[in-house]
Chains A and B, each alone.
Chain A
Amino acid sequence: MDLLRKEALASPAVPACRPWPRMAVDQATWRATINQLAAGECDLLSLWSDGAQVHLAAFRPSDASVQILSLDCAGGSYPSVGRAHPSALRLERATFDLYGVVAEGSSDTRRWLDHGRWGVRRPGGAGEATAGAADPYTFLPVEGEGLHQIPVGPVHAGVIEPGHFRFTANGEVVVRLEERLGFVHKGVGQLMSGASIEGAAKLAGRVSGDSTVAYAIAFAQAVEAALEISAPPRAVYLRALMAELERLANHFGDIGAICNDASFALMQAQCALVREKILRASKACFGHRLMMDCVSPGGVAHDLSADKAACLGELLDWIRLMTPRLIALFGDTTSLQDRTVGTGILNTSLARQFGCGGVIGRASGREFDARKAIGYAPYPDLSFAVGGSRDGDVDARVWVRFDEVSASTELVTQILERMPHGPINVEFQARTGAVREGAALVEGFRGDIFAFLRIGEDGTIESCHLRDPSWFQWPLLEAAIKGNIVADFPLCNKSFNCSYSGHDL
């Protein structure tokens, strides 16, 4: 059980990583950790590489601790985690695409992010130029009588992000769905290497535009942890305020969009109105509708004046008035309930196995919320309830979103009431003459965003890894749609609302 810890004590020292230690481990400990992951004793947070080592972050629910392990992979390979714990499979494939390190014994060695179109192989490792012609890709075989394939995307009929979905259906019933992603790979990791902290913070805020605040907070927390500084209390509260506003706007947008996919445009019109008001208030308070670049390492970029706080208070009163009406509209429209109840069920064991965070996990009985589980400031000082359900269907995911909307409304009120006074920024010196590492786990509206970074002696970012919650949600969509009809896929997909951009990085 505690093999991991004993090994850790004996393991050699690596650059100090804060707030959670990083341990260099040998293959035996690595394999022991894989077994623990497979047994469900801890949840995989992320798996990534920097070329020389492969890193694994895991969360242990029993004592709410995070462990980061590093295995030397100078030989170009490491024992596969995905073989025993499937949620690591796509991370391993992406790691191979970027750094060329092989997961030994993996059951899936196909390329994932790299479609052969980058013009370069292994951009993170020893990059070698290629012609840029598309690689062939083999979808998993499906056998049976009367089956037919439906390829959808990457270009869709609506204006949405690109992703390819390969359905195998028997008439209308989906037998298997296989996703192919990676079409919006931007190379954020490579762009960050060597960037200044300010430049990298901007990049972090652009990984997934709709959760720019959560990403910026994750990055800022990791930098602050690495440099052993802390943002002033007012900045911490302002960050939480922005994060909750972002959560509110996105959840309202999602609820409306889910209903719109059942052709119930009335709900979308109402929700879009609420979302728009929140975005305009964000623009008025922080100067940007999505609050991009408003959180920076060391603090926040904009202070909130008293009159703007009062405007936010009015907005909240209005949202408090609207939410019950929207809940009634959703719950009382039987034609809508007929579509959402029992559609796209994700069972609890899968949600647990994949460490699925956010609304999707909580709607399927996995009550993980980084705001509670990690308890980063200022959330321990605030009282709020995290919604949950065990049904795991589209309906449950909408209701959990409604729960979170109510919780976030109360949170914003508390934050505004308790907002401390003082500076909103702390001066810091990035050039410390030592290599420092920091990590953070922040709850965005989709789920927990993991950030790990290493700051070099000269104060620039040596490497940075950001893991979107969608990594562990996309594979579950494939499971949730199984046995449903093809025409219900848009509804399931929208209720998951995974990020393409954050996943493809």
Chain B
Amino acid sequence: MTIIFDLFAQILQMALVLLAAPLLIGFVRKVKAHLLRRQGPPIVQPWRDLLRLLRKETVLAENASWFYRAAPYFIFATTWVAASLTPTFENGLMFSWAADLIAIIALLGSARFLLALAGMDVGTSFGGIGSSREAMFGSLAEPATIMIVFTVSLVAGSTQLSEIASYMLAHSELRVSVGMALIALLIVAIAENGRVPVDNPATHLELTMVHEAMILEYSGRHLALIELASALKLLLYISLIDCMFFPWGMAPHGAGVVEMATGGVAFVFKLAVAGVLLAVFETSTAKMRVFRVPDFLGAGLMLGLLATLLVFVTRSL
């Protein structure tokens, strides 16, 4: 019976992230539109776009290889798996043993690698530009992420997300190292998701694109899958931040339906807060020069490094 219930919770998690991710994008766009004194499209618009893309014909370049066609499925799968294994409303998901923080980061890294390769596959110059920029950002964002993982794992004594969440719930005192790790993760999350000031998800300018440049040649269901994957990625990063730093309201393992519902409501609330903050931040700043991004991510890396050092220093005292 417990197994069935656990399985149900896991399936619910998978469905929830898939359903909520495009809505989160729609919500952020809506808030941004309101900040610009516009009405904005409805929150369900990203879903409508995805369904429309799924119905549409897929146009492929003549020289596209099998990899180009296969990449969207891999990218979507790895991102969805990573998002499904990050606790959102319930802690201790059935398959959470399968992937710890490092595995989740590795899954996202694989998705990035696949996307960068796919961007170069048809040989258009924009794909190449996008891939080279993405690789440059990634090479700086990943070490920073690993530093953050070290810090949090050393503090919580585990790389398992559910154990980190339980530890953080039990020990909710203020820690400088954890605070630094949080700021570093926010920086990484902005860069990884291609948000302003690193990349502009709404841009129409070919020459400034990063993420959009890589997927410029994709269409139809391939594009839908990649769009869905990038929506999932944003949700995943918010879940990661919630789970590691603000796990309040999350239902404990083996909790009943009521606690799960409370956890769900808390999760939606946290998503909304994150969405509003993201929209306000994006509206109030201009995009930075491409060569400024390493400085920005470098700050994330240094914060992560400092946080790790601080953990060691405080341990040895």
Do A and B interact with each other, yes or no?
yes
Q: A-side interface residues toward B, CB under 8 Å?
A: 148-152, 156-159, 171-172, 259, 261-266, 268-269, 273, 333, 335-336, 338-339, 485-490
CB distance B284 to A266 under 8 Å?
yes
What is the interface of chain B mostly: helix, strand, loop, or mixed?
loop
Can you name 18 A-B residue pairings with CB atoms under 8 Å? A156-B204, A157-B216, A158-B205, A259-B286, A262-B286, A262-B287, A263-B203, A265-B283, A266-B35, A266-B36, A333-B285, A333-B286, A335-B288, A338-B286, A338-B288, A486-B207, A487-B290, A490-B207
Taking a contact as CB atoms under 8 Å apart, the answer to whether A273 and B37 are in contact is: yes
Q: Is B129 an interface residue (CB 8 A)?
A: yes
From the candidates B38, B196, B204, B206, name the one contacting A152 in the complex (CB within 8 A): B206
Known contacts A150-B125, A263-B197, A486-B129, A157 near B206 by CB under 8 Å: yes
- Decide if A490 touches B205 in the complex (CB within 8 Å): yes
- B128: chain A residues at CB < 8 Å are 148
**Known contacts A266-B35, A266-B283, A269-B36; is-contact A335 B205 (Cβ 8 Å):** no
B52 interface hit (Cβ, 8 Å): no
Residues of A within 8 A of B153 (CB): none
Interface residues of B in 157-199 (CB under 8 A from A): 196-197
What string of 1s and 0s marks CB contacts (under 8 Å) between B98-131 and chain A?
Answer: 0000000000000000000000000001101100
CB pair A335 B207 closer than 8 Å: no
- Cβ proximity bits B27-48 to A, threshold 8 Å, 1 near / 0 not: 0000010011110000000000
Least CB separation from A490: chain B residue = B205
The reply to whether A148 and B290 form a contact with Cβ atoms under 8 Å apart is no
Q: Is residue B289 within 8 Å, beta carbon to beta carbon, of the partner chain?
A: yes
Instruction: Report chain B residues within 8 Å CB of A333.
Output: 285-286
When distances are taken between beta carbons in the complex, the residues of chain B under 8 Å from A171 are 132
Interfacial chain B residues near A263, Cβ < 8 Å? 196-197, 200, 203, 208, 286-287
Nearest-CB distance from B292 to chain A (Å)? 7
- Assembly CA distance A261 to B289 (angstroms): 12
Given the interface pairs A269-B38, A338-B292, the reply to whether A489 lies near B286 with Cβ below 8 Å is no
Whole-angstrom distance between the Cβ of B7 and the nearest chain A Cβ? 44
Produce 1/0 per residue, B289-305, CB < 8 A to A.
Answer: 11110000000000000
Closest to B36 in A: A269
For A150, the chain B residues whose CB sits under 8 A away are 125-126, 129, 207
Flag if B208 contacts A490 (CB, 8 Å). Answer: yes
Q: In the bound complex, do residue A487 and residue B38 qualify as a contact, i.e. CB atoms below 8 Å apart?
A: no
CB distance from A73 to the nearest CB of B (A): 41
Which residue of chain B lies nearest to A153 when distances are taken between CB atoms in the complex? Answer: B206
Q: How far is the CA of A264 from the CA of B196 in the complex (A)?
A: 9
A-B residue pairs, 6 tightest by C-beta: A158-B204, A263-B287, A269-B36, A264-B286, A336-B286, A335-B286
A-binding residues in B (CB < 8 A)? 32, 35-38, 125-126, 128-129, 132, 196-197, 200, 202-208, 216, 283-292
Check if A172 sits within 8 Å of B291, measured CB to CB: yes
State the CA gap A151–B207 with chains docked (Å): 10
Among the listed B129, B206, B283, B291, which residue makes an inter-chain contact with A156, where contact means beta carbons less than 8 Å apart?
Answer: B206
- Residues of A near B208 (CB, < 8 A) are 261, 263, 487, 490
**Complex Cα gap A159–B205 (Å):** 10
List 13 additional contacts besides A264-B287, A265-B36, A485-B290; criterion CB under 8 Å. A148-B128, A152-B206, A262-B287, A263-B203, A266-B284, A335-B286, A335-B287, A338-B289, A338-B292, A339-B289, A486-B129, A486-B207, A490-B205
Instruction: Report how far A172 CA is from B129 CA in the complex, Å.
Output: 8
Q: Which residues of B contact A172 (CB under 8 A)?
A: 290-291
Is the CB–CB distance between A487 and B125 below 8 Å? no
**One of B37, B200, B289, B292 near A269 (C-beta < 8 A):** B37
Distance in angstroms between the alpha carbons of A265 and B203 in the assembled complex? 10
Asked whether, in the complex, the Cβ of A149 is within 8 Å of the Cβ of B125, the reply is yes
A172 to chain B, nearest CB (A): 6
Q: How far is the CA of A156 from the CA of B128 in the complex (A)?
A: 17
Using Cβ atoms and an 8 Å threshold, which residues of chain B touch A159? Answer: 204
Chain B residues with Cβ below 8 Å from A335 are: 197, 285-288
Nearest B residue (CB) for A267: B286
**Residues A488 and B289 in contact, CB atoms below 8 Å apart:** yes
Chain A residue contacts of B291, Cβ below 8 A: 172, 485
> Chain B: which residue is nearest A151 at the CB level?
B125
Closest partner residue, chain B, to A339 (CB atom) = B286
